[in-house]
Amino acid sequence: MGRAKRLPLPPRTDLDGLIEAWGEQVDRELLERALTHRSYANEAGGIANNERLEFLGDAVLSIVIADRLFHDHPDSAESELSRMRAATVSQEPLARAARRIDLGSFIRLGKGESASGGREKDSILSDTFEALIGATYLTRGLEPTRRAILRSVDFLLVRASSRGAHHDWKTILVEKAKERALGEVTYRVEGEGPDHCRVFTARVYVSSRKEPIGQGVASSKKHAENSAAEEGVRFLEG
């Protein structure tokens, strides 16, 4: 007989443990919403999910990291600062920060997403991390949220300069296209599949060409676009 299939664990409900790891108090209702993935919200009859909080948290995170990098690297050009910021706030590094506070174990997922290992997906972890930032900002304001963010991502900022030089393919592609007078860089993204295994295909174009110069496939739009941009840079350098 084969091994019995292991059922996915339910989300942790001891939210005080998450608050302790995060380091700042968050309104309980906002916190629960920040932890609610759209797959769970849909199965629960269309309750509020964390996407609006993610949108807000992304903006707060961006300004906090930009401010820190601006002061930490006074001699760096704007393009270098942009790369360092992207290397800190993109999907993979944010997922690493989320794992350090065990955020995945608290996320409320739909059955399919949970069964497919959603708690370990970089896309879900990074999005929920941003939603947590949004909930903290609405509860406490900017300065406490800044403290929580910097505590969580300090390990990323230590090597922001070296990581940034190789990470932000979208910024690099814009610079390459500008150098070659190729026109504006744009992306077209298509998604397919159910929520628990959504796949996005991004194609990147420059306005001087009809055909795409790069393509990327990933479980999130941002990651797919970055992969497409990397392929675009290789194309222009080839």
- Got the DSSP string for 25-83? ---HHHHHHHTB-HHHHHHTTS---SHHHHHHHHHHHHHHHHHHHHHH-TT--HHHHHH
pLDDT, tens only, 130-176? 999 999 999 999 999 999 999 999 998 887 776 665 566 887 788 78
**Where in the chain are the domains?**
15-165, 170-237
The architecture in CATH of the region 15-165 reads Orthogonal Bundle (1.10)
Topology classification of domain 170-237: Double Stranded RNA Binding Domain (3.30.160)
Residue 114: its H or E element:
helix 111-115
Options 32, 113, 122, 130, the catalytic residue? 130
Answer yes or no: 195 catalytic: no
User: Do residues 133 and 152 lie in contact, with contact meaning Cβ atoms separated by under 8 Å?
Assistant: no
Cα 94 to Cα 111: distance, rounded to the nearest angstrom = 24
pLDDT in tens, 86-134: 888 888 889 999 999 999 999 999 998 988 888 999 889 999 999 999 9
Q: Looking at 32, 54, 58, 195, which residue is catalytic?
A: 58
pTM greater than 0.85: no
Mark whether 130 is an active-site residue. yes
